Amino acid sequence: MNQLKSVLKKILGSNAALRQGVQEARIIELWPEAVGAMIAKHARAAFMKERKVFIEVDSPVWRQELFTNKQMVLKKFNDLLTKEFGVSSKEAWVSDLFFLNPGSKPFQNDR
């Protein structure tokens, strides 16, 4: 197992684009841990682009609630990412959150 870790570290260390992609995927995965089970039932991180995370919500009410508490959620999310990736807390991993309007289909929480 340690050999595999070592090889992966070497590969990621030599390829900045791959490392960034892996980190972005991990950021998306950490959304439920950052916001808690209740919010994660109603909102999920869909994708990340240019340090901005796009969040799908299941209703306008949840969209407004998250928008109202956006700075608090963003800080909590970045604090978790700082612990996860071990970087200075001055370096924000996520610069902004965008809450997407619910689509015509019901929100699917398939986790």
CATH class of this structure's domain 2-100: alpha beta
4: enclosing H helix or E strand: helix 2-14
Q: What is the pLDDT of residue 105?
A: 47
- Tens of pLDDT, residue by residue over 61-82, are 999 999 999 999 999 888 888 8
Is the pTM value of this prediction over 0.85? no
- Tens of pLDDT, residue by residue over 26-60, are 888 989 998 999 999 999 999 988 889 999 999 99
Q: What is the pLDDT of residue 106?
A: 42
Domain boundaries, the chain: 2-100
The CA radius of gyration of the chain, in Å to the nearest whole number, is: 15
pLDDT exceeds 70 at position 8? no
Q: What is the pLDDT of residue 40?
A: 93
The span from the CA of 94 to the CA of 40, in Å, is: 18
Q: What is the pLDDT of residue 93?
A: 81
The span from the CA of 7 to the CA of 37, in Å, is: 34
Spell out the residues 6+ positions from residue 84 whose beta carbon is closer than 8 angstroms to its own: 26, 30
